[in-house]
Amino acid sequence: MTEWAVELKDVKKTYRTGPIEVPALRGISLRVAPGEFLAIAGPSGSGKTTLLNIIGGLDRADAGEVLVEGKNLQLLSPGELARLRLQRLGFVFQAYNLLPVLTALENAEFTLLLQDVPVEQRKERVQKLFAEIGLASLEHRRPGELSGGQQQRVAVARAMVTEPALILADEPTANLDSVTATALLEVMEQLNRAHGTTFVYATHDPQVMDRAHRLIRLRDGQIASDVPHAGQTL
C-alpha cells in the first residue's frame, strides 16, 4: 500500500468567537504523493492557511483524519506533534522569521541545534546547502545586511537543512518583487528535484501557481478544483 506524504479525510475546522461560528474547512479530502510540488490557491478566507497549519500540526482539525507519512496527527499528543515538526517537517512563512542577532548560517542551523546535531556537522550541512542555493558568500551576514530575497533563501535553508520529508510554505513570495520571487521559486524547484522533498504552498501568487506541478483551488473551505501538472510543459 502506498504511503502518502499527506492524506486528509473529510477534514473540518470551525473557528468560534463567542456565539459566532466561522467554518474554515468544510470536509477536505486529498492525497499528496511524496515528492510533489503542489500549490493550494484561493481567495482570502478560502481556508488555505488553515489547511496548511492543520497539515503541519500547528492547529488541529475539529473532525476528520490528518495523516502525515501515515501518522494520524489527530491522535498525537502536543509533544509528539512537536517532535514530528522538528524531525520531519519544514516551514517557510511570508515573514522570514529570522533572528536578527544571529548570522545567516546560525539562523539556518538553528533547527539542527534543537536536534542536538554536533556543531561541525551542523556547519557542514548548512554550508553545503548554502552553496546549492547561492548563499555561500553570505553565511556571516546578519538578516539586516541581507536583501528580502536573500533572507527568504536563508529561511528556506533553515527549513531544508534538517532534510525533512515535507516543506509547508505559506505565501513565501508575498514580500518579494517578481524577479526575486522567480529566483526563489527556481531554488525551491531545484531542491524538490535534487532531494525529492515534498513542497506544499499556500499562495495568491500566479507565479507559484504556474510553476506548481499540481494546483488545488479552495473556495469557501472546500476543494473547487484539483488540476495535475498545472502550468507544466512536459
**Mean pLDDT within 54-72:** 95
DSSP result, 145-180 = GS-HHHHHHHHHHHHHTT--SEEEEESTTTTS-HHH
Residue 18 CB contacts under 8 Å (≥ 6 apart), including other chains: none
Percent share of the chain, pLDDT over 70 = 97
Residue that the C-alpha cell 500566479 belongs to: 206
Least confident among 112-126, 134-148, 167-181, 218-232: 218-232
Which of the four CATH numbers 3.40.50.300, 3.30.465.10, 1.10.3720.10, 3.40.50.1110 does domain 6-228 have? 3.40.50.300
* Closest to 156 (Cα-Cα) out of 128, 185, 182: 185
Residue 95: the pLDDT is: 84
Give the model's confidence band at 80: pLDDT under 50 very low, under 70 low, under 90 confident, else very high. very high
Q: Are 161 and 129 in contact (CB under 8 A)?
A: yes
Give the model's confidence band at 37: pLDDT under 50 very low, under 70 low, under 90 confident, else very high. very high
CB-hemisphere CA count at 13 Å for 72?
Answer: 7
Q: What is the CA radius of gyration of the chain?
A: 18
pTM across the whole model? 0.91
